[in-house]
C-alpha cells in the first residue's frame, strides 16, 4: 500500500515538475544579447506572439485533435523555419514560397516551382485549420502522410520541392546564428535535431488557424450556440443572396466539404475526368476502386486560393460551380452523392442567379484578418 502511495506521490511530483519545466521554456523571453543577434536577421517581437491560445470563436474552441502541444516559442521557431530558404538544397525555396500568406497559404501557380527549376506534380494545398483534422484525415491530395510531421519530412526531402537530406539539415542550420537561440527557447537546449525541426514546423503549421470569416461571425452572432440550425436557418448577418447560396451549399456540397462546424468526407471522386492522368489515392495504392479519388479540401478562404483542384485546372469559383452544375463526368468511382439513381452523373441545372448565390456564399468563407496577421508573416529582414 505504502509503496503504491509513494509511487503515486512521485508520479504527481513528476507531472507537476514537468509542467513547470514546460512553463519555464515557454515563458523565458530573450535577453538583450540574444535580441541583438536575432535582430540582425529577423524581425521578431520581444514578446512572442500567442500561437498556443489564439482568439477563436466559440464554435472553433473544441476540437484540435492529436499532435504536439503548441508553445509560443515552438511555433515562433516553426515560423522562422517556414520562411527560411536554407531549408532547401539550393537555398532558393522556403515552405512559404509555395504556401503564400496573401493567398491563404496556397500558391497562385497550378504547379509550384521547387528546387533546381523542378515543378511539383500537383497544386499546392492551402494550409489552415490542420489542427482540427480528425484522426482519419491524412495530408496531401492523396493523403499519403498520416501526420504533419511525416508530411514535413516528405516535403523537405522531396527532390522536386526542397531536396534536402532531412538528417543533414540539422547540421546545415547549426551554422546560422539565430537557430541556437530559437531552439533553446523552444526546447530548453540549443541542440538542433531533425525531430525538433519537424516538431517546431508542425507546431507552426498547426497554429495556422483562421476563424474570422463572415460566416464565422454570422454563426456567432445569429445562432447563439444553436449550431444545428446552421444547415437550415437563414442567418440575418448574411445577405439574402448569401443565404440562398448557403442553402444550395448545404444541399449539394456540405456532405463532402463539411460546413464550418463539421468535416465532411476525407476522400472522393468528384467527376473531373473520365480518364484521370493522375489517379490520386489510386496511384498510391494501385487499387482500381480508388482511381481518381482525391482529398476533399477544406473550403475556408477558398476565394483566395485559385487555381482549383489537384491540378489547378479551374481559375475561378464560377468555373468550379459550373463543373458541378453541368460538367460532372461519368467514372466508375464517381461518388454516389454526385450520381442520379440510374448511376449517371448529376446535372444540377442551377439558374444563373443560383450559381452566383453559391459563389457569393463561398466568399463568406474569406477571413481577411488572417492574411494580415503578423504572427504568420515573413519574419526575415
Ligand atoms: C515547391 C513547393 C512547396 C514547398 C517548398 C512546400 N510545399 Fe507544402 N505543398 C506543396 C504541394 C504541391 C502540396 C500538395 C502536394 C500533394 O498533395 O501531392 C503541398 C502540401 C502541403 C501540406 C498538406 C496540406 C493538406 O491539407 O493535406 C502541408 C501541411 C504543407 N504542404 C506544408 C508545407 C511545409 C511545412 C513546408 C516546408 C517544410 C512545405 N509545405 C513546403 C508545395 C510545397
Ligand atoms: C462527392 C464529394 C463532393 C461534393 C458533393 C462536392 N465536392 Fe467539391 N471537391 C471534392 C473533391 C474530391 C475535390 C478535389 C478534387 C480533385 O482535385 O481532384 C473537390 C474540390 C473542390 C474545390 C476546389 C478546392 C481547391 O482547394 O482546389 C471547390 C472550390 C469545390 N470542390 C467546391 C464544391 C462545391 C461548391 C460543391 C457543391 C456544388 C462541391 N464542391 C461538391 C468533392 C466534392
**Whether residue 296 has its Cβ less than 6 Å from ligand 2:** yes
**pTM of the predicted model as reported, rounded to 2 decimal places:** 0.91
Dihedral angle sign, alpha carbons of residues 25, 27, 28, 34: positive
Going by alpha carbons, the residue nearest to atom 36 of ligand 2 is: 253
Instruction: Summarize pLDDT for 52-86 with one digit per residue, the tens.
Output: 888 888 888 765 544 568 999 999 999 999 999 99
Q: State which ligand 1 atom lies nearest to the alpha carbon of 139.
A: 27
**Whether residue 203 has its Cβ less than 6 Å from ligand 2:** no
How far, in Å, from the CA of 270 to the mean position of ligand 2? 6
**Whether residue 298 has its Cβ less than 6 Å from ligand 1:** no
How far, in Å, from the CA of 257 to the mean position of ligand 2? 7
Q: Where in the chain is the domain with CATH 1.10.760.10?
A: 18-210+370-376, 214-365
What 38-43 contacts at long range (C-beta under 8 Å, 24+ apart), as own/partner pairs, is 38/178, 38/181, 38/182, 40/177, 40/178, 40/381, 41/176, 41/177, 41/178, 41/380, 41/381, 42/80, 42/178, 42/379, 42/380, 42/381, 43/379, 43/380, 43/381
Q: What is the pLDDT of residue 68?
A: 61
How far, in Å, from the CA of 345 to the mean position of ligand 2? 15
How far, in Å, from the CA of 96 to the mean position of ligand 2? 25
**Whether residue 51 has its Cβ less than 6 Å from ligand 2:** no
Instruction: Summarize pLDDT for 291-313 with one digit per residue, the tens.
Output: 999 999 989 999 999 999 999 99
Nearest to 198 by CA among 241, 155, 232: 155
Task: Report d(CA 133, CA 381) in Å as an integer.
Answer: 33
Q: State which ligand 1 atom lies nearest to the alpha carbon of 88.
A: 5
Mean pLDDT over 221-232 rounds to: 88
Mean pLDDT over 238-247 rounds to: 98
Burial of 61 (0-12, 13-18, 19+ CB in 10 A): exposed
Classify domain 18-210+370-376 at the CATH topology level: Cytochrome Bc1 Complex; Chain D, domain 2 (1.10.760)
How far, in Å, from the CA of 314 to the mean position of ligand 2? 11
**Whether residue 60 has its Cβ less than 6 Å from ligand 1:** no
Q: What is the pLDDT of residue 29?
A: 82
CATH number of 214-365: 1.10.760.10
Residue 157 has pLDDT above 60, yes or no: yes
Mean pLDDT of all residues belonging to the chain: 89
Distances (CA, A) of 221 to 26, 217, 233, 237: 34, 6, 13, 8
Amino acid at each position: 500500500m505504502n509503496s503504491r502511495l509513494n509511487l503515486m506521490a512521485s508520479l504527481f511530483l513528476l507531472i507537476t515538475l514537468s509542467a513547470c519545466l514546460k512553463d519555464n521554456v515557454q515563458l523565458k523571453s530573450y535577453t538583450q544579447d540574444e535580441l541583438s543577434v536575432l535582430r540582425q536577421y529577423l524581425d521578431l517581437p520581444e514578446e512572442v506572439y500567442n500561437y498556443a491560445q489564439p482568439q477563436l470563436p466559440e464554435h472553433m474552441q473544441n476540437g484540435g485533435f492529436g499532435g504536439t502541444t503548441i508553445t509560443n516559442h515552438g511555433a515562433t521557431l516553426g515560423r522562422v523555419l517556414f520562411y527560411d530558404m536554407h531549408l532547401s538544397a539550393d537555398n532558393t525555396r522556403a515552405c512559404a514560397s509555395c504556401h503564400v500568406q496573401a493567398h491563404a497559404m496556397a500558391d497562385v501557380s497550378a504547379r509550384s516551382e521547387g528546387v533546381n527549376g523542378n515543378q511539383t506534380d500537383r497544386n499546392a494545398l492551402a494550409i489552415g485549420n490542420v489542427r482540427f483534422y480528425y484522426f482519419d484525415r491524412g495530408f496531401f491530395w492523396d493523403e499519403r502522410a498520416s501526420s504533419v510531421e511525416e508530411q514535413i519530412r516528405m516535403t523537405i526531402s522531396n527532390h522536386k520541392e526542397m531536396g534536402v537530406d532531412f538528417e543533414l539539415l540539422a547540421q546545415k542550420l547549426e551554422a546560422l546564428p539565430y537557430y541556437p537561440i530559437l531552439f533553446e527557447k523552444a526546447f530548453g537546449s540549443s541542440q538542433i535535431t531533425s525531430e525538433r525541426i519537424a516538431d517546431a514546423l508542425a507546431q507552426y503549421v498547426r497554429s495556422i488557424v483562421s476563424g474570422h470569416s463572415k460566416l464565422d461571425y454570422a454563426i456567432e452572432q445569429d445562432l447563439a450556440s444553436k449550431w444545428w440550425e446552421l444547415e437550415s436557418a437563414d442567418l440575418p448577418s448574411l445577405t439574402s443572396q448569401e443565404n440562398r447560396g448557403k442553402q444550395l451549399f448545404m444541399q449539394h456540397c456540405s456532405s463532402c466539404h463539411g460546413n464550418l462546424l463539421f468535416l465532411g468526407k476525407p476522400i472522393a471522386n468528384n467527376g473531373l475526368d473520365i480518364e484521370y492522368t493522375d489517379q490520386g489515392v489510386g496511384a498510391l495504392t494501385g487499387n482500381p476502386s480508388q482511381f481518381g479519388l482525391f482529398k476533399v479540401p477544406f473550403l475556408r478562404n477558398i476565394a483566395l486560393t485559385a487555381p482549383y483542384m489537384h491540378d489547378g485546372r479551374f481559375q475561378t469559383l464560377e468555373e468550379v460551380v459550373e463543373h458541378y452544375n453541368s460538367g460532372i463526368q461519368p467514372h466508375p468511382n464517381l461518388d454516389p452523392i454526385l450520381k442520379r439513381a440510374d448511376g449517371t452523373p448529376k446535372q444540377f441545372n442551377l439558374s444563373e442567379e443560383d450559381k452566383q448565390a453559391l459563389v457569393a456564399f463561398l466568399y463568406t468563407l474569406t477571413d481577411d484578418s488572417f492574411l494580415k496577421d503578423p504572427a504568420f508573416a515573413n519574419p526575415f529582414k
